[in-house]
């Protein structure tokens, strides 16, 4: 992927050119692989100050030689201040979940691996041997990378999920409402002030002057808690196009809220209540709680019976979230 975070001139822009066919193919999705890569960027000492509290908790979770090595592996492939990192790290099927994304990563063609890694390490005088093996398409190296990304996600992204995903799902809900009520152009307009929609072009701050022509492929918008200040786009213009952008903040439950609710609901169910502060699927809830899907579904059913949760279908997903009573209980007021 093209990271290209750090603008040196406020006038530098990415200009995304739409056709009518592209407007019919605009959609919004979440992507845990993008979150994993961007979280590793924020985990570094040079990460944004806004992530300092999360960074302390996440750093404490990176214990043991294996997990530390996993973080180093991801960071070497996608350094936080690089102008480029390989597109294959965040495949399109990541929008279908971590497992689907990692499976596609492991199927990356040899030629693409070689091309993208050559670009990424072109200025490096010394490149670790495992990078060469990865560029050669060695299946064991791809499997090792997939395992590393999965472990990093579980260690540093999933624990922050209940609060971070509240912002992401709240942002996604705003975009989906705009799409439903005002169409694709209404959705693109809703991205102000970060981005400007001047038909047929979407403009956003970017570290270089770049024009991207969608040519009928559409655009997937991905809100992310760990994206900071300006959006991130793919480097290869021939790939299905994605624009990852900072999710708008949302009110979340504090640790004190959860401690206060634990005697009333039980510790696990208090965590379920906090996780439902943003719309989630059963699978997503199960992942953050480290429980089975059936157990997560049972917790939601109990909260729903108590009037604290609601379940609805949005697009092709069944989403669980807090009812007004549940939000009142979680946040007070």
Q: Does one domain contain both 156 and 57? A: yes
Residue 319 placed within a domain: yes
Confidence of residue 167 (pLDDT cuts 50, 70, 90): confident
Q: Are residues 126 and 58 in the same domain?
A: yes
- Least confident among 80-94, 194-208, 267-281, 296-310: 267-281
DSSP state of 155: I
Whether residues 167 and 241 share a domain: the answer is yes
Number of domains in the chain: 3
**Domain end point (choices 160, 189, 208):** 160
Q: What is the DSSP string of 248-315?
A: PP-----HHHHHHHHHHH-HHHHHHHHHTTS-B-HHHHHHHHTS-HHHHHHHHHHHHHTTSEEEEEET
- Residue 260 within a domain: yes
Domain boundary among 125, 160, 195: 160
| 191 in a structural domain | yes
Domain match, 173 and 69 both: no
Distance (Å, whole) CA 333 – CA 327: 9
Residues 242 and 313 in one domain: no
Q: Is residue 69 classed as helix, strand or coil in its secondary structure?
A: helix
**Residue 280 forms part of a structural domain:** yes
Q: Is 198 in the same domain as 279? A: no
For residues 26 and 167, membership in a common domain is answered with yes
Task: Assign residue 287 the CATH number of its domain.
Answer: 1.10.10.10
Cα–Cα distance for residue pair 303/305, rounded to 1 Å: 5
Quick: pLDDT tens for 218-230: 999 999 989 988 8
Last residue of a domain, one of 145, 160, 175: 160
Give the residue, 304 or 64, on which the prediction is more confident: 304
Residue 143 has pLDDT above 90, yes or no: yes
Residues 223 and 303 in one domain: no
pTM for the structure as a whole: 0.73
177 shares its domain with 97: no
Residue whose structure tokens are 């943003």: 278
Residue 206 located in a structural domain: yes
Do 39 and 140 fall into the same domain?
A: yes
- In the predicted model, is pLDDT for residue 246 greater than 50? yes
What per-residue confidence (pLDDT) applies to 202?
A: 98
Same domain (yes/no): 52, 127:
yes
> Same domain, yes or no, for 155 and 43?
yes
Q: How far apart are CA 97 and CA 77, in angstroms?
A: 21
Q: Look at residue 4 and tell me if it is in a domain.
A: no
- Whether 6 is in a domain gets the answer no
Of 132-146, 280-294, 300-314, where does mean pLDDT reach its minimum? 280-294
- 326 domain residue, yes or no: yes
Domain of residue 296: give its range. Answer: 255-331
pLDDT for the residue 210: 94
């Amino acid at each position: 992927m093209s990271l290209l975070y750090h603008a040196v001139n406020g006038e530098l822009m990415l200009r995304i050119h739409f056709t009518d066919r592209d407007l019919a193919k605009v959609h919004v999705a979440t992507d845990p692989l993008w979150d994993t890569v961007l979280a590793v960027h924020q985990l570094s000492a040079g990460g944004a100050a806004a992530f300092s509290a999360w960074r302390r908790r996440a750093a404490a979770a990176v214990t043991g030689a294996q997990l530390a090595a996993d973080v180093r592996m991801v960071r070497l492939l996608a350094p936080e201040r690089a102008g480029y990192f390989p597109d294959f790290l965040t495949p399109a099927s990541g929008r279908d979940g971590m497992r689907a994304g990692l499976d596609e990563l492991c199927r990356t063609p040899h030629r693409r691996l070689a091309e993208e890694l050559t670009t990424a390490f072109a200025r490096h005088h010394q490149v670790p041997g495992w990078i060469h093996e990865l560029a050669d398409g060695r299946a064991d190296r791809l499997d090792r990378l997939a395992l590393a990304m999965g472990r990093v996600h579980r260690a540093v992204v999933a624990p922050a999920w209940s609060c971070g995903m509240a912002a992401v799902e709240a942002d996604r809900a705003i975009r989906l409402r705009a799409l439903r009520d005002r169409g694709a152009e209404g959705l693109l307009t809703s991205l102000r002030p970060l981005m400007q929609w001047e038909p047929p072009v979407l403009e956003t701050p970017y570290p270089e002057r770049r024009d991207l022509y969608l040519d009928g492929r559409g655009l997937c918008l991905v809100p992310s808690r760990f994206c900071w200040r300006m959006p991130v786009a793919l480097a290869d213009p021939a790939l299905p196009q994605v624009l990852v952008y900072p999710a708008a903040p949302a009110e979340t439950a504090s640790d004190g809220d959860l401690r206060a609710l634990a005697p009333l609901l039980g510790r696990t169910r208090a965590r379920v209540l906090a996780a439902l502060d943003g719309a989630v699927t059963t699978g997503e809830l199960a992942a953050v709680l480290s429980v089975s899907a059936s157990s997560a579904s049972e917790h939601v059913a109990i909260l729903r019976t108590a009037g604290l949760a609601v379940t609805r279908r949005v697009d092709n997903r069944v989403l669980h979230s807090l009812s007004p009573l549940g939000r009142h209980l979680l946040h007070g007021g």
